[in-house]
Structure 1
């Protein structure tokens, strides 16, 4: 009898790609298994990246892609007025979000809290407010949105500091 995938364990040893088709075909929960397979990233040694850690890394990946497109647009046009927005989107949007995701992946006890989901929401809202706010400030229109985004980003970092100290080994 083929070994079934134990999705609840979430470790790399329980995942065998050649057996996934059999599991999905034999399972009465085909839709659920497909959803889990589509929303899980396999990693070595630490199990699957899912939940809030995957949310952070996936959102950061979207932010860095947008940052790269903005950088390319600035290079093509030779207009670097929006360079601060490009830099913040890449650093706060990609680097910080990815580091948060990696931390939550390495410390699952921290990722399984409501505070981690709140942290994701505030961090994402901070980037989504800060970058357009920097664009508006660079174009000398309004600085309120960048102030709101900066405060949300600061709040996100304070939540992270609290989480790190709360879940230290």
Structure 2
């Protein structure tokens, strides 16, 4: 899972940078929170999780590692798409933000449990 997390994090990094470029070129900064969340929850968090999974392969190979990977990578795009649409004025998509955010929180909790259960000094 470590390599997969690092590779998908680079996709989030590119999306975040492109969104930042768009905002700076157009002077429209309404999507700043989308930009920040993509970079923090996509690029940074997933890169760090991937590195931890490489350092501690038992955590990366565990069922919790797989659940974390898939839940995070399903919930984050749902949350970001919903937030993008809400910020663009389509308030009917607000439940999408909430659903995605709850999914991301659960994914992070699964990650934390995985780290506590599967990361040991003996590794």
Counterpart position of 1:154: 105
Structure number with the higher helix fraction is: 2
Give the superposed CA RMSD.
1.0
List structure 1 segments (4+ residues) > 3 angstroms apart after TM superposition. none
**Gaps in structure 2 of 5+ consecutive residues:** none
Q: How many residues align?
A: 118
Deviation at 1:134, TM superposition (A): 1.0
Deviation at 1:115, TM superposition (A): 2.0
**Gaps in structure 1 of 5+ consecutive residues:** 1-51
Matches for 1:114-125 after TM superposition, within 5 Å? 114-125=63-74
Aligned pair partner of 2:41 in 92, 107, 111: 92
Q: Compare relative contact order (CA 8 Å, sep 6+) and give the higher one, 1 or 2.
A: 2
The normalised TM-score by structure 1 is 0.67
Larger radius of gyration: 1
The normalised TM-score by structure 2 is 0.91
